[in-house]
Chain A
Amino acid sequence: MLEKELSKNIVNIRAIMKNSSDLIIKYAKAGGCDICVLTCDGQIDADRAANLVFRPLTELDDSLTPERLSAMIGGELLLACDEKPVMSADEVIESVLGGFCVILIDGVGIGYAVGLQGFETRAVAPPENHRNIRGSREGFVEALHVNMSLVRRRVKSPELTLRTMKIGSVSNTEICVFSMDGRTDKRLLRSVMDRLERLPLSLVLESGFVQPFLEERHPLFSGAGATERPDTFVSKLYEGRIGIIIDGSPFALYVPKLFSENFIMLDDYVEKPFFAFFIRLIRYAAFLIAILLPGFYTALANFHPELIPDPLLRNLAAAEALTPYSVLTECVILNIFYEIMREAGLRLPSNVGHAVSIVGGIVIGDIVVSAGLVGAPMLLTVAIASISGYIVSDLANQISLLRFGFILLGGLFGLFGLTTGSFVLLISICSLNSYGVPFTSPLSPFSFRGMRDTLVRAGWRKLGRTEPDILGMNGSEVRGDEG
């Protein structure tokens, strides 16, 4: 609890904060009483503090008692919309570090925290990873309250409920849990809240820190989705999912997530349904090509050349005859080169990244073939598989790993190795449930209702007639204890 004596409170707060240099303590007189204003450097808007706090307080009549001053600040004197009493030193510190300006009065054992958050934030900009052709250009930013407003602007309905809480015992990261009453299953919401409350992390810097605690364990795939787009996020909430935005991260999480959602983009809903169907087919095909094509080529070249049409087989044999390495070795080396270039391109500044692209694309791509290190068909195969992998960007990491696995299986054991590998992968994907919703639904368990917006995309006249419901998928039943 706060003491009545101001100096004792300040000594106490300084001790807890270990005399941290970003703690700003400003003594002043207001209404004839000694007061003290505590803020954290860089966390508040100085202009608003001067206009909304300091000026009104210093203009008060000097004849006030501490109790009267306290009552005025807590009551009739409106300093800011976000204002709350604080009763203890811990609350004072928590508020100050959260961007509040705390006013303590000598002679009163209560303080007031006034929300004047004004730290520098990045402006709302188009999302980096989830781009679209038509639709909003707004992406989430790092500031939680900006993100909350981006969501609220799209759903001006009391159905949308926001619950804020803090996670991480050291970072005290503020997060907001979104749900839509009447659409979200209460058991699902309770399960998510339980997991967040039991989060064992002390430091939470990014949504990726929390994601593993919201999904069932799986070595490759995730039952929790992440998006940079407020419109995508809102559409997930509308389907009855739970959304989580974490302060400091421009990626919002939602649960549960289905495998088929990796192949659905927001643009599909503004295009004609036939085109949406066509482009989704392309995405599924691209996923299969990305993970299987190099392995399949290696298996055919090594073990089953009889499956390749004769003219093509002659060309492939002629190209491979000029290279010193086996097909499998070539494939592995090329894929490792590609992964190195990809990683370099991702981490480097964009101007250097272009140089990497030139070196990778022109120098390596051309020279390795002309030098006779790898055959042109193999280079083409790896290139097609790599480009296909970018089409399903949410699964890029999984594709890289799976591609290597299938190259080894195909190269060492032929189509038989690919078959058993595919089966194990299929079983593994099918075993994943996210809060009781099968990851592979509505494909398996099959649901006609769910299929209207999976591979095909029904027209808006049909989609608009019924309410979407993630838990209405065949076979789903909320389970809360799969972490």
Chain B
Amino acid sequence: MRGKTGSRELAAALAVSRIFAEAASLPNEYHTYGMQRFTVILLSFVLTVVLFLPLYFVMKRSGGGLFASVSGNRVLPGFLGALFSVYLLYSAAETGLRAHYYTSGTIFDAAPSEYFYVFVGAALLFAVYKGTEPTVRAAVITAGLFAAFMLIITLSLIPDIDTDRLYPALIDDPESLPAQVLRETARNCELPVLAVLIGRTDGKSGRVFAAYAGVSCFVVLLMTFLGTTVFGELVSRLDLPFYSLSSTADITVLHRINGIDVMLWVMAAIIRLALIALAFRETAAACFVRGRAADIAALVFAAASVGLAELFTAYPALSEPLYRLWGTCLPLVAATVLIPPLTLIGKRRERA
């Protein structure tokens, strides 16, 4: 676990992570038919920029990752680290849960969920053991495969695209708009992950954010465009619109390519889980333990997140309150707006 990670590569990894979260978003809640969906995505992008600003200033000031400033303080590291770790743990568990949901009807059929988590957990532990550099490099190659896949899907769906399904009104239901924007933004755990992992890169956080947010926004808009123009009103009744798109695409050699689609999403899910676990590693190294112990803590965290996901799969009622809480965007606001100023206070005290 050493070496510097390229900032462009980190941006690509975060984009893969973000796009997975969008593609695997739960049914009906986000994917209502209508042009309002495009407005929601664009407003969510603006909100993401706003939430990034506090992180940006802290990172600029500390010259490293989010917790670079609090390392010398006695009280704050434990408190902030614990808060942040809880946020990361739930984000990871939810990612595992979503990946299982996404695959359970496709390439993972009716097999017990334990098998799914054992396999994903093994791959995740291997990625975390190898460290940030290989994970991010693997994410770049996955991003390349995903781009090729998007191109194939788009080309194969061109005959089915009907632009009449788009209409000029960009806001259908103004009352639901704020809630939809918050929900769209809420599961953007890539922002805190970026803030922590930036210390591992040789680049500037602003550029990483611009690249990651820009690319993921564009891809999500493209996915929404395809879903809306191909399925029309039907899109509001689909569980997983992007999966349905790949089911529709026929490339002759294979009857359907949704299996390939889900293979890519599983890889993207493991990358997201690994990024979160590696962000925890950086948090643990800054706030709790040092050196090799932080690596072991990251492995334990990864195993715990997969275990928690399995628990949520077995007992869905357990995750319901947390799911609703996360949907309010408050945890993300806490991680991006509340914690950063506290780290600066820690820095001032340390200097005094």
Chain A contact residues, CB within 8 Å of chain B: 303-304, 306-310, 413-420, 422-424, 426-428, 430-431, 433, 438, 440, 443-446, 474-475, 477
Contact = CB atoms under 8 A, between A and B. Distances in A.
Contacts of B257: 307
A303 B135 CA distance: 29
Given A306-B255, A427-B138, A414 B6 contact: no
Contacts of A304: 107, 259
Residue in B137, B140, B263, B266 whose Cβ sees the most chain A Cβ within 10 Å: B137
Contact of B3 (A422, A433, A474): A433
Given A423-B267, A430-B141, A474 B120 contact: no
B123 A423 contact: yes
Contact of B138 (A310, A430, A446): A430
Pick the 8 closest A-B CB pairs, nearest first.
A431-B134, A430-B137, A444-B140, A430-B134, A415-B107, A444-B137, A445-B6, A419-B263
Interface in B154-189: none
Nearest to A304: B259
15 contacts: A307-B258, A308-B254, A310-B255, A415-B107, A415-B262, A419-B267, A420-B123, A423-B138, A424-B122, A427-B127, A430-B141, A431-B133, A440-B141, A446-B9, A477-B3
Contacts of B8: 445-446
Given A308-B255, A309-B255, A419 B138 contact: no
B130 A431 contact: yes
A443 B141 contact: yes
B269 to A, nearest CB: 10
Interface residues of B, number: 43
A260 to B, nearest CB: 12
**Most chain B beta-carbon contacts within 10 A, residue among A415, A423, A426, A477:** A423
A419 B266 contact: yes
B326 interface: no
Contact of A303 (B103, B109, B137, B263): B109
Contacts of B254: 307-309
A443 B107 contact: no
B108 A416 contact: yes
Contacts of B126: 424, 427-428
Contacts of A477: 3-4
Contact of B116 (A308, A415, A416, A474): A416
Contacts of B267: 419, 422-423, 426
A440 B119 contact: no
Contacts of B336: none
Contacts of A307: 254-259
A414 B262 CA distance: 12
B6 A475 contact: yes
A381 to B, nearest CB: 14
Contacts of B144: 443-444
B107 A414 contact: yes
Counting chain B CB atoms within 10 Å of each CB, the highest count among A303, A426, A438 belongs to: A426
A445 B255 contact: no
Given A307-B259, A443-B140, A475-B4, A419 B9 contact: no
Given A422-B267, A427-B135, A445 B9 contact: yes
